Structure 1
Amino acid sequence: MNQHDETYDLLATHTREAAILSSIQELLEWDERTKMPPAGGQHRADQAAHVAGLVHQKQTDPMIGEWLSALADSPLAADPTSDTGAVIRHLQHDYNKKTKLPQTLVEQLTRTAVEGQQVWAAARKANNFAAFEPILEKMVGLKKQEAAALGFEATPYDPLLDDYEPGETTANITCVLADLRDALVPLVQAIAGSAKRPDVSILTRHYPASVQETFGKQAAAAIGFDFSAGRLDATDHPFCCMPGPNDVRLTTRYDEHWFSDCFFSVLHEAGHGIYDQGLPSDQFGLPTGEYVSLGIHESQSRMWENQVGRSRAFWEYFFPVAQKEFPQALSDVTCSNFYGAINDVEPSLIRVEADEVTYNLHILIRFELEKALLEDQLSVADLPGAWNKKYHEFLGVVSPTAADGVLQDVHWSAGLFGYFPTYTLGNLYAAQFFAQANEDLGDLNAQFRRGEFLTLREWLREKIHRHGKRYSAAELAERITGKPLSHEALIGQLSAKYGELYGL
């Protein structure tokens, strides 16, 4: 073994050790949001902060800089998309960022995120924004410190966005969202003007939580989520995490009088989980074993939730199963009526329950508000009023409660500023990837009608999952579809689907 190989092995071993510590962080967070008793919150914050400090120490060890410097001009780094080249390139980027952050700030952010999520959950339950305001104020201040430490030219939003969407810029996101909004608004208006309206009361009948769990797990398994290497639990705000290889945790929430809340969150989180399970486990801890970006990760969840799970073909297979599981609720309902109900388009208050046509307007609101908070154009105290103003402007609705308004999302309490735009990027990538998959694999709807979903899963594994971070999100889109990211595929799919449903 030559000197470069030995240096690379030292770097890889060190990086994997840091990843093991990070996986402990992930498990602590999963437990906090699913199983931990409320009184354990303060000690959990101390635990999480301590582990975060250890991770930061490991990730900023000066030896990493020496190893990376020694490898920079080596043959191992010559091809930036090779296994070794991709690892060296991404670790250099991460090291440059992490060494700019003081350990005390990292620990403060972690502790405040744990405490913030607990305060948020209680405040949301009590419908009390004032109870949440102080810790959100603290978190916004800490994120401004983080952005300042990382450095930026145009806006403090840029370095925070880079955590979730490497290489992306706030300026480009602003343009992408504006173009999409311009195309969405006429479609939303046309649907609003249609006389055709589905009977959504179908979805408010009694759907026992225990049966929802069974049915959700059955659907998740059918589309390719491996429950021998994963599980499903309940939480306040659905999420997916991967503490390590062959250990992927899905979560959902149950409303016995709203079918869509649980079912589509299960499909959504299962889509995330399928991506995690498709990453090369032998590369765990290295960039080649990690997801590309949150936009790409979101493309996987949104594809299974929307392009697949809200399709007519999916329910032509699954509706008879649903009728057997929920005989009291669905015995007198036709598949066509059920399909119409789950695809109802109506401006709404809750992002996670929004239809796929108006969903991205919810994201645009959050993007503009969190950007304004970071740029000192909006105070935390004025956030509820700004939230309601934008909801009235964009969607024509205003929440009568903070719980269904400004308090509905967990993200800001956890410090996830820069995260929200990745949902819309995910919708755009999902539409583009799905169109290409349909072209490559033939008529996907015909396969779905027969209950065949694994062909699509394997296509996604081959095209996306197995590559880890070898390519950027933009490069991946070009490689797979031959086109740069665009709103055209999504608008085309939405126009065709909802044109049929609403007689446009």
Structure 2
Amino acid sequence: MTLAPFRAEIGAINDLLCAASVLTWDSRTMMPAGGAETRGLQIATLIRAARDRLLGADLARALDAARRAVEGLPADHPDARAVAQTLSAVAHHARVPADLIERRAALRTRAQAAWTQARATSDFALFAPYLEETISLARAYADAVGWEAHPYDAMVGMFEPGETAASLSALFATLRAGVAPLLDAARGRAPARDDFLARGYGEEGQRAFGLSIAERFGYDLAHGRLDTTVHPFEVSFTRSDVRITTRYRPDYLPGSLFGIFHETGHALYEQNVEPAYTRSALATDLVGLYAVGGTSFGAHESQSRLWENHVARTPTFWANHFPELKAHFPDELADVDADAFYAAVTRAEPGFIRVEADELTYDLHIMLRVELETALMAGDLGVSDLPGAWDERVRRDLGLVVPDARRGVLQDVHWSSGYIGSFPTYTIGNVMAAQLMESVREDDPGAIDALERADYAPLADWLRAAVWRHGRRFGRDELLAQATGRGLDPAPYLRHLAAKYG
């Protein structure tokens, strides 16, 4: 028996999904506003074609032969895993009506265009009908896939297999208990000066500095590029073409910089998947129908949060790189030194915007979104009541009064993308990042020492061996067990926060 027909079929499915990702990237970066309607249909056609091929007779025959070909191999052998994951994906999609897949895919581009306009005008009513449809389709999808305790479980499981509303509630309770005293202490201290972050920073200098750091981290521009968008993201069309985006604000310098560092972490994961896995089931999310090499969204977020917070949001990083940043903005930063800049970008103070939140308050943003998503999926909260519920939870958790929908319920792109259930993966990524960095310190202290010299290659080498190269071969907890000796554990994350903010 041969695996060649199986690999060819999966390769073709990956091609279709990569083509859909190209159209998605274009819709968020370059497409004129009037193209949303037909672009959504184009993407839906490609997603439907990928799904049909996954359930087609050709793959069924190839999969049958491949199943016999991998008999006797260890369960974690790459070929055995590719076959097992494909069988699981086929069973998953056999339960979901084809028109439901197509309707969800077609809605995304239209919903994103509506969200962009609604966000620009701070008018939730423009987006509300699209969100109503998004939630309705998500409920239908959850029912088709099947769930027991809560419909939200089916959606979370697409992005982070094994997690449920109940497991997330327990994790969040642990984190709240650990973060609360740290945040109280931070609020009791005089805040660091940060007035200089809003001095009218030009886009060219922000881009040049951010991209130079991305390259030093290891981002390969021969197989990548940086573009501008409303909400930053990373997207890969196989490891050979991995793109990142950011947004530039003259009145908030860290926004674009840490956005670039964050998306670079995602890109490093995708660019360093084992080359042999290209166009294979080990670099394709066959359940979610995305061309992505990371094993889960949480694992992916662990890499973005690791480079953003554990590398770039440190005194060492700014001692090394602040002179370069100052060279781009000599007038704006004339009265600022590296210590003052570090203090400003780690200032712990509740704010409205999740992507600009400090590490202490970041997960509170995630928790309130998950609470709202859970209520929407259960039917306990209507879309029309969402802005008020959002504002109430921001008052409760962050002590702030939301000034407008743009800085409130409309700030994130995820709901317009149909990503109901993806928000928890940011907090899981925070937990994973700290757990991995603690293991780096134990296993390879030289990689930590190298950071003092702005040498990022040893850390990248460790992560490549422990995480990146495996693609989707191992599940999240398998990956963590191999790298750290245990599954997901919030203790290192709480230790990290206490050390930085205690």
Q: TM-score range by the shorter chain?
A: over 0.9
Q: Could you say what secondary structure the match of 1:357 adopts?
A: helix
Q: Equivalents in 2 of 1:11, 1:178: separation in Å?
A: 44
- Kindly state the Cα deviation for residue 61 of structure 1 after the two structures are TM-superposed: 1.3
Structure 2 partner of 1:34: 29
Pair 172,460 (structure 1): closer, same or farther in 2 beyond 3 Å: same
Q: Which amino acid counterpart does residue 366 of structure 1 have in structure 2?
A: R
Q: Equivalents in 2 of 1:313, 1:99: separation in Å?
A: 52
From 106, 111, 118, give the equivalent of 2:101: 106
Q: Equivalents in 1 of 2:378, 2:334: separation in Å?
A: 54
Q: Which amino acid counterpart does residue 49 of structure 1 have in structure 2?
A: A
Q: Which amino acid counterpart does residue 231 of structure 1 have in structure 2?
A: R
Q: Is the 8 A contact 1:299 1:428 kept in 2?
A: yes
Q: Equivalents in 2 of 1:374, 1:455: separation in Å?
A: 44
Q: Equivalents in 1 of 2:481, 2:354: separation in Å?
A: 30
2:475 aligned with 1:481? no
Q: Which amino acid counterpart does residue 419 of structure 1 have in structure 2?
A: S
**Bigger mean CA offset, 24-33 vs 471-480:** 471-480
Structure 2 partner of 1:294: 297
2:314 aligned with 1:319? no
From 195, 210, 223, give the equivalent of 1:229: 223
Structure 1 partner of 2:290: none
Q: Equivalents in 2 of 1:469, 1:244: separation in Å?
A: 13
Q: Equivalents in 2 of 1:427, 1:204: separation in Å?
A: 27
2:202 aligned with 1:243? no
Structure 2 partner of 1:404: 407
- Kindly state the Cα deviation for residue 449 of structure 1 after the two structures are TM-superposed: 2.6
Gaps of 5+ in 1: 500-504
Structure 2 partner of 1:156: 151
Q: Equivalents in 2 of 1:190, 1:445: separation in Å?
A: 28
Q: Which amino acid counterpart does residue 118 of structure 1 have in structure 2?
A: A
When the two chains are superposed, the root-mean-square deviation of aligned CA atoms in Å is 1.4
Q: Which amino acid counterpart does residue 314 of structure 2 have in structure 1?
A: S
Q: Equivalents in 2 of 1:397, 1:224: separation in Å?
A: 39
Q: Equivalents in 1 of 2:356, 2:77: separation in Å?
A: 41
Q: Which amino acid counterpart does residue 417 of structure 2 have in structure 1?
A: A
Q: Equivalents in 2 of 1:379, 1:77: separation in Å?
A: 52
2:195 aligned with 1:201? yes
Q: Is the 8 A contact 2:234 2:263 kept in 1?
A: yes
Taking structure 1 as the reference length, the TM-score comes to: 0.95
Structure 1 partner of 2:20: 25
Q: Is the 8 A contact 2:477 2:486 kept in 1?
A: no
Pair 338,444 (structure 1): closer, same or farther in 2 beyond 3 Å: farther
Q: Equivalents in 1 of 2:373, 2:501: separation in Å?
A: 31
Q: Could you say what secondary structure the match of 1:330 adopts?
A: coil
**Bigger mean CA offset, 59-68 vs 423-432:** 59-68
Q: Equivalents in 2 of 1:77, 1:388: separation in Å?
A: 56
Q: Which amino acid counterpart does residue 207 of structure 2 have in structure 1?
A: E
2:278 aligned with 1:275? no
- Kindly state the Cα deviation for residue 167 of structure 1 after the two structures are TM-superposed: 2.8
Cα deviation code 1:33-65 (max 9, x no counterpart): 001111112221121121121111112214434
Q: Is the 8 A contact 1:116 1:135 kept in 2?
A: yes
From 163, 181, 184, give the equivalent of 1:186: 181
Cα deviation code 1:377-398 (max 9, x no counterpart): 1000000011011111111112
Structure 1 partner of 2:418: 415
Structure 1 partner of 2:113: 118
- Kindly state the Cα deviation for residue 494 of structure 1 after the two structures are TM-superposed: 1.2
Q: Which amino acid counterpart does residue 328 of structure 1 have in structure 2?
A: D
Structure 2 partner of 1:502: none
- Kindly state the Cα deviation for residue 226 of structure 1 after the two structures are TM-superposed: 0.7
**Bigger mean CA offset, 333-342 vs 57-66:** 57-66
2:254 aligned with 1:260? yes
Cα deviation code 1:239-268 (max 9, x no counterpart): 000022310110000001211110000000
Pair 228,12 (structure 1): closer, same or farther in 2 beyond 3 Å: same
**Bigger mean CA offset, 234-243 vs 197-206:** 197-206
Structure 2 partner of 1:493: 496
Pair 171,77 (structure 1): closer, same or farther in 2 beyond 3 Å: farther
Q: Equivalents in 2 of 1:244, 1:83: separation in Å?
A: 18
- Kindly state the Cα deviation for residue 443 of structure 1 after the two structures are TM-superposed: 5.2
**Bigger mean CA offset, 231-240 vs 136-145:** 136-145
Count of aligned pairs between the two proteins? 493
Q: Equivalents in 2 of 1:442, 1:11: separation in Å?
A: 43
From 185, 205, 214, give the equivalent of 2:208: 214
Q: Is the 8 A contact 2:210 2:261 kept in 1?
A: yes
- Kindly state the Cα deviation for residue 68 of structure 1 after the two structures are TM-superposed: 3.9
Cα deviation code 1:441-462 (max 9, x no counterpart): 2155542231101110111001
2:357 aligned with 1:362? no
From 34, 38, 49, give the equivalent of 1:43: 38
**Bigger mean CA offset, 287-296 vs 457-466:** 287-296
Pair 364,272 (structure 1): closer, same or farther in 2 beyond 3 Å: same
Cα deviation code 1:142-184 (max 9, x no counterpart): 1111111111111111221121112333321221111111111
- Kindly state the Cα deviation for residue 73 of structure 1 after the two structures are TM-superposed: 6.3
Q: Could you say what secondary structure the match of 1:250 adopts?
A: strand
Q: Could you say what secondary structure the match of 2:237 adopts?
A: strand
Q: Equivalents in 1 of 2:205, 2:475: separation in Å?
A: 40
**Bigger mean CA offset, 166-175 vs 214-223:** 166-175
Q: Equivalents in 2 of 1:479, 1:445: separation in Å?
A: 20
- Kindly state the Cα deviation for residue 72 of structure 1 after the two structures are TM-superposed: 4.5
Q: Which amino acid counterpart does residue 111 of structure 2 have in structure 1?
A: G
Q: Equivalents in 1 of 2:478, 2:57: separation in Å?
A: 31
Q: Is the 8 A contact 2:236 2:243 kept in 1?
A: yes
Q: Which amino acid counterpart does residue 124 of structure 1 have in structure 2?
A: R
Q: Could you say what secondary structure the match of 2:235 adopts?
A: strand
From 335, 360, 380, give the equivalent of 1:377: 380
Q: Is the 8 A contact 1:116 1:136 kept in 2?
A: yes
Q: Is the 8 A contact 1:241 1:248 kept in 2?
A: yes
Pair 186,98 (structure 1): closer, same or farther in 2 beyond 3 Å: same
Q: Is the 8 A contact 2:269 2:303 kept in 1?
A: yes
Q: Is the 8 A contact 1:255 1:262 kept in 2?
A: yes
Q: Is the 8 A contact 1:314 1:449 kept in 2?
A: yes
Q: Is the 8 A contact 1:231 1:248 kept in 2?
A: yes
Q: Which amino acid counterpart does residue 152 of structure 1 have in structure 2?
A: W
Pair 79,167 (structure 1): closer, same or farther in 2 beyond 3 Å: farther
- Kindly state the Cα deviation for residue 297 of structure 1 after the two structures are TM-superposed: 0.5
Q: Equivalents in 2 of 1:471, 1:413: separation in Å?
A: 30
2:348 aligned with 1:337? no
Q: Which amino acid counterpart does residue 361 of structure 2 have in structure 1?
A: T
